[in-house]
Each structure stands twice: as C-alpha cells, then as structure tokens.
C-alpha cells in the first residue's frame, strides 16, 4: 500500500511503540493456534490507525477512507480485538505506565465512581432504553471508575435501562475494577 498522508487521529511512533508488542503477540498467538486462515496482508498499525479514525470522527465503518485497509478488514480486527480483550489489556497496561510516569504505584489503591444518565437518539429501539425518572431522561445509564489521576479503570453502559439503580451499577463497577486492579481497597 502506498504511503498515505497522516491523519490527526494517527498514533505517533512513540505511542505505537507502547502498544505494538501487545498486538504483535496477539497476531502471533493466533497464527500459532491456526486461527485466521491466510497470511495477514495489512500492517497492524494501519488497522489500529483506521480504528482510531472511526472512533475520533464517528463515521460508520463503510465510510472509512480508501487509503486505509478495507473497512471489512478493519472492522474484523476491531471485533476480534474487542472479543479477545485486547483493548482492555492495552488500557490496563497504559494506565500502569501513566501512573508510574506520574510517580505513583502502577496499581491504583483508590478509585472514584460516577454514573450518568444519557439521552439516546430518537432512532434507538425503545427496548434498549429506559427512563431515569429523577432526571426525566429517556436513554441509557453509564458508570465509570477512575483512579485518583482520572485514569479510567472500569466502564459499564446499561443497554437495557436508564432506570438501573446506581447501587446495582456501582456493585458491578466495583467487581469489574477489583478484578482488573486487585490493589483497590475498601476504606
């Protein structure tokens, strides 16, 4: 593939160096396991940059510019990486690096929980939304746990109802955060 001009969403060489080993190991593990069929045609960095482009611009996969690998290939990698937990692993590893750079222990010991009710599009199926009566919002509810530096540790989006209780979401968030970050402690 010919060299393409860089997009603002493309990773720098330094950032790519941080995540390339994880993606290369994933590809090698799949090759060793006999998964994937034919020999890979596209560079993992181009695929990752295409995913970042879709994420940043909000376009649909089919509208991916032609100077990226085909949208079907990019989407295939996106779904495989999502299913195999690659993005979660990258978040975990990069969070540790950012904490170490800030002079903190790689594993957080404290976190902050927050939930938010979010309006959905008028095109969203009614079965996938609920009502937050207190805030008078029809939509979904999302919850996050961050460390004291504001780095994301856990995320939950309730696809079934914005009326899900903060307590139920909080318990699920804490379970998820504790599983990924065992040093988190109750105080």
pLDDT given for residue 158 in this prediction: 77
Q: What is the pTM of this model?
A: 0.77
pLDDT, tens only, 58-89: 999 999 999 999 999 999 999 999 999 999 89
Contacts of 164 by beta carbon, 8 Å cutoff, 6+ apart = 130, 141, 158
pLDDT given for residue 113 in this prediction: 92
pLDDT given for residue 131 in this prediction: 62
What is the share, in percent, of the chain residues with pLDDT greater than 90?
53
Tokens representing 17? 């160096």
Residue 181 to residue 151: CA distance in whole angstroms: 12
Contact 57, 9 (CB under 8 A): yes
pLDDT given for residue 22 in this prediction: 95
Greater pLDDT, 172 or 133: 172
Q: Where are the beta strands (DSSP E) in the chain?
A: 111-119, 130-132, 137-147, 152-158
Residue 171 to residue 122: CA distance in whole angstroms: 30
Residue 178 to residue 180: CA distance in whole angstroms: 5
Summary mean pLDDT of the chain: 86
pLDDT given for residue 124 in this prediction: 62
Residue 161 banded pLDDT, cuts 50, 70, 90:
low
**Residue 55, CA atoms < 13 Å, CB-side half-sphere:** 13
Whether pLDDT at 91 is above 60: yes
Contact 27, 84 (CB under 8 A): no
Domain boundaries, the chain: 13-84, 106-180
- How many other CB atoms are found less than 10 A from the CB of residue 183? 11
76-79: long-range pairs with CB below 8 Å, 24+? 77/44, 77/47, 77/51, 78/51
pLDDT, tens only, 104-133: 999 999 999 998 877 766 666 666 666 665
């Amino acid at each position: 593939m010919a060299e393409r001009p860089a997009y603002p969403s493309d990773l720098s060489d330094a950032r790519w160096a941080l995540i390339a080993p994880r993606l290369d190991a994933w590809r090698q593990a799949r090759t060793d396991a006999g998964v994937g069929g034919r020999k890979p045609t596209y560079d993992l960095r181009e695929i990752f940059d295409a995913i970042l482009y879709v994420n940043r611009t909000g376009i649909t996969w089919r509208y991916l510019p032609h100077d990226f690998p085909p949208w079907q290939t990019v989407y295939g990698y996106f779904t495989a990486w999502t299913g195999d937990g690659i993005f979660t692993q990258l978040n975990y590893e990069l969070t540790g690096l950012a904490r170490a750079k800030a002079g903190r222990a790689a594993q957080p010991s404290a976190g902050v929980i927050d939930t938010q009710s979010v309006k959905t599009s008028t095109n969203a199926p009614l079965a996938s939304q609920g009502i937050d009566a207190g805030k008078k919002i029809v939509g979904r509810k999302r919850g996050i746990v961050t460390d004291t530096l504001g780095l994301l540790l856990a995320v939950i989006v309730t696809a079934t109802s914005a009326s899900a209780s903060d307590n139920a979401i909080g318990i699920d968030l804490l379970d998820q955060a504790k599983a990924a970050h065992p040093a988190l402690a109750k105080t």
